[in-house]
Structure 1
Amino acid sequence: MKSILVAAAVALVVSILFTPYLIRIFSKQGFGQEIREEVQKSHSAKRGTPTMGGMAILVAMWAGYLATHLTVADQAPSASGLLVLGLTTALGIVGFLDDFIKIRKQRNLGLNKTAKLVGQLVASVLFAILAMQFQDEAGITPASEHLSFIRDITVVSFGVVGFVIFAYIAISGWSNAVNFTDGMDGLAGGTAAMVLACYVLISFWQLRYDCTAPTGGGPTPACYTVRDPLDIAVVAAAAMAAGIGFLWWNAAPAQIFMGDTGSLALVGLVAGLSMVTRTELLMVVVGGLFVVEALSVVLQIVVFRSTRRRLFRMAPFHHHFELAGWAETTVIIRFWILAGISALFGLGLFFADWLALSGS
């Protein structure tokens, strides 16, 4: 518990203090956000707001994680924690390059699709391959070749090659989902903070009921076969606190945007945490708002191509409500409520599974 608290406290302080420094630096350099043409009317005032604020989240997250391992004597870095941080940072770098090109060329298009896909492919493949290595004393690797919901679904096995392909598909899918949600001040950041808070609790519970931990009575059907649950909880806590600290400056009216630097970093967190905690399908529920936002875009395209009519005024569908006359802050707060409901429902499913297997 001390490790989790130290990570969260340090990350929160660093994020709150470092973000305004980035705002000043980026403002002087003219690193401002370009706005999509479709939303120029309602969002034109935001043009020029400093972007690439995701750097603050990354720096604060690493600061919280490293501070924990420097100050808590019995807490050593783990393969699982470092792999999630590595995936998050790698995708954040891809996002940074995308943001930087947008700023330099003064347009709303950065890296072309091929370059972005290659960046995601390299990060995904490296993560997946390494996550199948580094067995601990019990022979458990950071990720499993089985598909998982609340724990491994052993009848569904990808194999090592299949898992690498699955990891790339999952990361690409979450990339679209998170990126679509990042369209209003604080919407993606607030949603991610709720998801990460959920995973702090999930990882801590997996630590308490670790199948490999000595309990005197042996493992029970309700235990979890997860490598490094404590370090995963530390990563989730540091990322959550970093996101909350950034949200202080990113909430409407935003003084800085996270940009693709932040949204792609969040993709690494969401996808990485789901794989190392063996909860890939549960993340679809916990991060339900991200999923719904992506589905709204898919439905908009399908309906328009088949009927030449638009299902929503604009997709992703948070813009639908804005164009219907809702104030931006109203949309954000109500979507945060929906995100919170999704996270709580996912957490409820997680604990319901434990109660059922433990016989409580």
Structure 2
Amino acid sequence: MVSLMLSGGIALVVALAATSGLIGWLAQRRIGQQIREDGPKRHLAKAGTPTMGGLAILAGVLAGYLVAHLDDVGFSRAGILVVATTVAAGGIGLVDDWIKVRHRRSLGLNKRAKFGAQLAVAVGFALAAEHWAHVPTVLSFTRVDLPGTPLGSLGWLLWAVVIVVGAANAVNLTDGLDGLASGSATFGFAVLAVIGYWQFRHPTIYRTTGWTPLDLALVAVGLAGASLGFLWWNAAPARIFMGDTGSLALGAGLGALGLLMNVQLLLVVIGGLFVIVTLSVVAQVVAYRVFGRRILRMAPLHHHFELKGWPETTVIVRFWILAGLFAALGLGLFYAGFLSATGIR
């Protein structure tokens, strides 16, 4: 328990301090966000706001994760793999953000290069998860044997790639309003930290060994703490944006944790807000290409409500409420699975 508090606390403090320093450094060099012209007009006032704040989130996660192991907790391959995947995805976002600010445009890496880089990271994660971290290659909901459907090496590879790339882009799409992605992600990571700790305390039920579940919980609580520390400066009106550096890192970390904790299907519930936002974009594209009309005033969904006249803070707080409810529902389903496994009614 002490190690969990260390990871979350150190991550929060480091992210809080690092974000503050980053704001000054970026502002001094006039490194700011470029705003897309086809977005809500009120967002044009945000042009020039420092971006690439995801660097502070990564610093917080790394610091929290490393310091937590001073409490006689062993490193695990699974924990190291999640951290590496998170940092690698953040690196893709950093390149994308840097191109945007360097060329003073709202477009960074082209779609093929960006997707190809994400695919490479996801494939690397999937192969390492199976052959290095030795994760069970089965379909899972609240534990490894539910439903426990074997996927095989190829099936696991494809499934893991879909989860990691999908989660990374889902958080990226949600990062459109001040504090929306960082606040929503905090709920998801906090629940995953609880799940990891619970799996550590009940290794027989969840078929875990050694420090692995606790180590994954340390990564999760570190990501929660870092997101919360960043949110202090990212809350409306934002002093800094996380950029793709942060959103891709948080999304990839979320997906990697869900896969290695064997709660892949449950992740759809825990990150329900991200799923809804992503589906809103898919629905908008399909409706326009098939029927020649838009079903939303603008996608993703949060921009639709903005254009309907909702104040930005109203959209953010209501979406946070949804994110919290989805995360709580996910935790409830996980606990129900525990009661079922133990025969408790």
For the aligned pair, the TM-score class normalised by the smaller chain equals over 0.9
Equivalent of 1:146, from 138, 152, 162? 138
Work out whether 1:44 is the aligned partner of 2:44.
Answer: yes
CA contact (8 A) 2:141 2:147 kept: no
**Equivalent residue letter for 1:88:** T
Which of 160, 165, 170 is the aligned partner of 2:163? 170
Structure 2 partner of 1:278: 262
Residue 121 of structure 1 is matched in structure 2 by 119
Equivalent runs, 1:43-192 vs 2, <5 Å = 43-69=43-69, 71-72=70-71, 74-134=72-132, 141=134, 143-152=135-144, 153=146, 156-192=149-185
Equivalent residue, structure 2, for 1:9: 9
Q: Distance in 2 between matches of 1:133 and 1:111?
A: 31
**Secondary structure at the counterpart of residue 91 of structure 1:** helix
SS at match of 2:39: helix
* 1:246-285 residue CA offsets vs partner (Å, 9 max, x unmatched): 0000000000000000000012211110011001110000
Q: Distance in 2 between matches of 1:120 and 1:306?
A: 28
The two structures have a TM-score, normalised by structure 2, of 0.96
Which aligned runs of 4 or more in structure 1 are off by greater than 3 angstroms? none
Deviation of residue 40 (structure 1)? 4.9
SS at match of 1:148: strand
Q: Distance in 1 between matches of 2:306 and 2:40?
A: 13
> Is 1:308 the equivalent of 2:292?
yes
User: What corresponds to 1:237 in structure 2?
Assistant: 221
Two-structure CA RMSD over aligned residues (Å): 1.2
**Structure 1 residue 290 displacement after superposition:** 0.1
Paired residue type of 1:43: H
Take 1:271 and 1:305, find their aligned partners in 2: how far apart are those partners?
29
Give the aligned partner of residue 243 of structure 2: 259
Matches within 5 A, 1:200-349: 200-211=193-204, 223-227=205-209, 228-349=212-333
**Pairwise CA distance, 1:177:** 1.3
Tell me the distance in 1 between the aligned counterparts of 2:27 and 2:155.
Answer: 45
Match of 1:29 in 2: 29
Q: Using the aligned pairs only, state the percent identity.
A: 49
Instruction: Please list every run of 5 or more consecutive structure 1 residues that lacks an aligned counterpart in the other structure.
Output: 136-140, 212-222
Paired positions, count: 341
Amino acid at match of 1:260: D
For 2:207 and 2:111, the matched residues in 1 are separated by 38
1:353 counterpart (334, 337, 341): 337
Residues of 1 paired with 2:153 and 2:66: CA distance? 31
- Aligned twin of 1:220: none
Moved more, 312-321 or 170-179: 170-179
Q: SS of the counterpart of 1:149?
A: strand
> What's the CA shift string for 1:291-343, capped at 9, x where partnerless?
00000111111222232222111111111111111100000000000000100
TM superposition shift of 1:67: 0.8
Deviations 1:1-31 (A, max 9, x none): 0110111111111111111100011111221
Who is 2:188 aligned against?
A: 195
Pairwise CA distance, 1:175 = 2.4
In 2, distance between residues paired with 1:2 and 1:134?
Answer: 28
Deviation at 1:155, TM superposition (A): 5.4
Most deviating of 21-30 and 55-64: 21-30
Question: SS of the residue aligned with 1:14?
Answer: helix
Residues 72-118 of structure 1: per-residue CA shift (max 9 Å, x gap): 1x212110110000000000000000000011111111111121122
Q: Is the 8 A contact 2:54 2:243 kept in 1?
A: yes
SS class of match (2:149):
strand
8 A contact 1:226–1:277 mirrored in 2? no
> What's the CA shift for 1:185?
0.3
Tell me the SS of whatever aligns to 1:150: strand
SS at match of 1:38: coil
For residues 304 and 353 of structure 1, the distance between their equivalents in structure 2, rounded to whole angstroms, comes to: 41
TM-score scaled by length of structure 1:
0.92
**Per-residue deviation, residues 142-161 of structure 1 (Å, max 9, x unmatched):** x2211111123465222123
Moved more, 166-175 or 257-266: 166-175
